């Protein structure tokens, strides 16, 4: 019997078409650009352009391969489904909201073959744990898949190269050249449409994103040759003149399913086998995809979207400062990284975690508000990945489910790992006074605010040892500076 194969905007994979047993002779592939979905949030203009251009290219590719494609511009996904008149099948959507809607509309799902573990595997793994940890999960998946394993032992006898992989960039560091993806007529037409949509954010100019599988493969091969050898060593490094460092920038392609996680891992593992990339870099990259990406998805899925929205373990209720939408601040680290993100829709992991997320954590911003900013501002943001990363990992609002301790750090960390503090209006060493770095003041204030909670006795106990050195006068000065910072924030003068 003929069926309709629904391809969502983040399911642009021929592997999925095969998984759904799509018959070229009788099935119809349905693809819909649903403007109502786009209008849900003030998304980054480049993200909408990326998704629609990638969808149109994928639709054209399917037609070239002889599939019948029913592609709708500016239509309602649910109305299109209702009017098919045949059973509709789809790869199980990653996002809970869309999954629930499609289920209610009678769409049936097949398991996404791109995850290494199923949700049942994960639920079973969780059932014997009160404190799940990435490291345990990652080792299990390494053992199951055999990646970087010698029998049941990790390659070179080492599971984790994190300690080696924390170097700042050397002096005079210069960015490496990025591949360029010149927009073709399909992309240019999408860019024109997106330019006319009100209420989006970010800069559309200089669009340089991989919109086809070939583009995505080119980026993967660029990464393995040019960046992977230094990926591990400088994974945590930040610099004002280089927003990418040696990171892969593969998340937009992975999250659109233009690439499979397995082929990215295979490419890195092959580079190790060929001797062109060191194990410390390759293991770090494998850990990101086989470990963190997979773990975040399963945690999101296991807890459920609504439950994530309710997490606020640190009772954080401050509004998100306007500077996140403008980049307008004297703090050089936030000004540089937010401006870069609003321009490109990207920041690498440590910038997201230790600068953009850390500031909201220390300030005590409502977790869903800072999550919504990340969701709007980034090209790779989707509920399944942005929610656990922001609410869990970055804002520690989930009571330690995602990470063993909050990623709270003062200006000293930012100064150690970047050159942002050079030429900044504030001093990372000072916690009080007009030149005190807001990160440093707010870091101590964060510790003081949570002094009588479990954070002090368990998860952040080492940080609290240093707090003992602060006198009552220091504590008073921290409280005064915090008040001052809040006023400066309210008047956009920080």
Ligand X SMILES: Cc1cc2nc3c(=O)[nH]c(=O)nc-3n(C[C@H](O)[C@H](O)[C@H](O)COP(=O)(O)OP(=O)(O)OC[C@H]3O[C@@H](n4cnc5c(N)ncnc54)[C@H](O)[C@@H]3O)c2cc1C
- Give the footprint of ligand X on this chain (CB under 6 A): 247-251, 254-255, 285, 288-289, 292-293, 296, 348-349, 352-353, 357, 374, 378, 380-381, 385-386, 389-390, 393-394
**Of residues 67 and 446, the one with the C-beta less far from ligand X:** 446
Nearer Cβ to ligand X (239/353): 353
Quick one: which H or E segment has residue 70?
Answer: strand 68-72
Among residues 244, 415, 229, the alpha carbon closest in space to that of 333 is found at 415
Secondary structure class of 184 (helix, strand, coil): coil
Nearest approach in angstroms of CB 359 to ligand X is: 11
Q: Which is nearer to ligand X, 381 or 448 (CB)?
A: 381
Closest CB to ligand X among 48 and 296?
A: 296
Q: How far is the CB of 159 from ligand X (least distance, A)?
A: 17
Strand-pair partners of 31: 71
Sequence-distant (6+) residues with CB within 8 A of 13 are 114, 257, 258, 260
Q: Is 492 left (phi over 0), alpha (psi -120 to 50) or beta?
A: left
Conformation bin of residue 430: beta by default, left when phi > 0, alpha when psi is -120 to 50: beta
Quote the least distance from Cβ 277 to ligand X, whole Å: 13
The token duo for 36 is 């109502």
Nearest alpha-carbon partner for 277 in 268, 286, 285, 265? 268
Identity of the residue, 69 or 403, whose beta carbon is nearer to ligand X in the bound complex: 403
Tell me if 328 sits within 8 A of 189, measured CB to CB.
Answer: no
Q: What number of other Cβ atoms are within 10 A of residue 467's Cβ? A: 16
Least CB distance to ligand X at residue 375 (A): 7
Shortest gap between Cβ of 76 and ligand X (angstroms)?
26
Taking the least distance from each CB to ligand X, the nearer of 109 and 407 is: 407
**Dihedrals phi, psi of 28, to nearest 5 degrees:** -120, 135
Q: Which two tokens stand for residue 233?
A: 């060593």
Task: Give whichever of 401 and 436 is closer to ligand X, judged by the CB atom.
Answer: 401
Distance CA 15, CA 30 (A): 16
* Residue number with CB closer to ligand X (402 or 463): 402
Minimum Å distance from CB 252 to ligand X? Answer: 8
Report the nearest approach of ligand X to the CB of residue 285 (Å): 6
Minimum CB separation of residue 247 from ligand X in Å reads: 3
As given in the structure block, the two tokens for residue 40 are 């849900």
Q: What share of the chain is helix, strand, coil (3-state, %, to 5)?
A: 50, 5, 40
The pair of three-digit structure tokens given for residue 221, joined into one six-digit string: 């091969």
């Amino acid at each position: 019997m003929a069926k309709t194969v629904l391809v969502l905007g983040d399911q642009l994979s021929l592997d999925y078409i095969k998984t759904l047993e799509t018959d070229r002779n009788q099935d119809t592939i349905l693809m819909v650009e649903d403007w109502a979905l786009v209008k849900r949030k003030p998304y980054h203009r480049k993200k909408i352009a990326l998704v629609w251009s990638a969808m149109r290219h994928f639709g054209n590719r399917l037609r070239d391969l002889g599939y019948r494609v029913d592609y709708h511009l500016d239509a309602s996904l649910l109305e299109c489904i209702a009017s098919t008149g045949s059973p509709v099948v789809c790869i199980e959507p990653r996002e809970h909201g869309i999954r629930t809607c499609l289920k209610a509309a009678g769409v049936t799902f097949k398991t996404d073959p791109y995850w290494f573990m199923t949700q049942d595997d994960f639920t079973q793994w969780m059932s014997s744990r009160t404190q799940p940890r990435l490291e345990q999960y990652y080792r299990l998946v390494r053992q199951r898949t055999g990646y970087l394993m010698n029998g049941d032992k990790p390659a070179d006898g080492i599971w984790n190269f994190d300690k080696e992989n924390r170097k700042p960039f050397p002096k005079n560091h210069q960015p490496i050249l990025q591949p360029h993806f010149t927009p073709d007529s399909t992309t240019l037409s999408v860019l024109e449409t997106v330019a006319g949509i009100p209420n989006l954010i970010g800069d559309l100019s200089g669009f340089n994103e991989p919109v086809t599988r070939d583009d995505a493969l080119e980026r993967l091969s660029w990464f393995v040759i040019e960046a992977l050898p230094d990926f591990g060593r400088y994974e945590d490094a930040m610099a004002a003149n280089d927003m990418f460092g040696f990171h892969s920038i593969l998340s937009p392609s992975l999250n659109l399913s233009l690439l499979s996680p397995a082929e990215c891992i295979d490419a890195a593992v092959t580079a190790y086998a060929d001797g062109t990339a060191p194990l410390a870099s390759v293991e770090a990259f494998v850990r990101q995809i086989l470990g963190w990406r997979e773990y975040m998805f399963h945690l999101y899925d296991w807890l459920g979207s609504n439950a994530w929205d309710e997490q606020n373990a640190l009772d954080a209720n401050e509004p998100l400062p306007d500077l996140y939408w403008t980049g307008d601040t004297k703090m050089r680290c936030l000004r540089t990284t937010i401006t870069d993100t609003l321009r490109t829709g990207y920041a690498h992991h440590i910038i997201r975690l230790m600068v953009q997320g850390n500031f909201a954590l220390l300030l005590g911003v409502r977790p869903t508000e800072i999550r919504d900013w990340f969701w709007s501002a980034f090209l790779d943001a989707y509920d399944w990945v942005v929610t656990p990363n922001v609410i869990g990992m970055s804002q520690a609002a989930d009571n330690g489910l995602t990470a063993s301790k909050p990623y709270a750090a003062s200006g000293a960390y930012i100064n150690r790992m970047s050159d942002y503090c050079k030429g900044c209006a504030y001093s990372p060493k000072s916690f009080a006074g007009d030149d005190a770095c807001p990160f440093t003041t707010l870091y101590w204030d964060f510790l003081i605010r949570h002094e009588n909670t479990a954070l002090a006795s368990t998860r952040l106990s080492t940080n609290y040892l240093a707090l003992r050195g602060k006198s009552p006068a220091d504590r008073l000065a921290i409280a005064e500076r915090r008040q001052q910072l809040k006023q400066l924030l309210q008047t956009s003068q920080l």
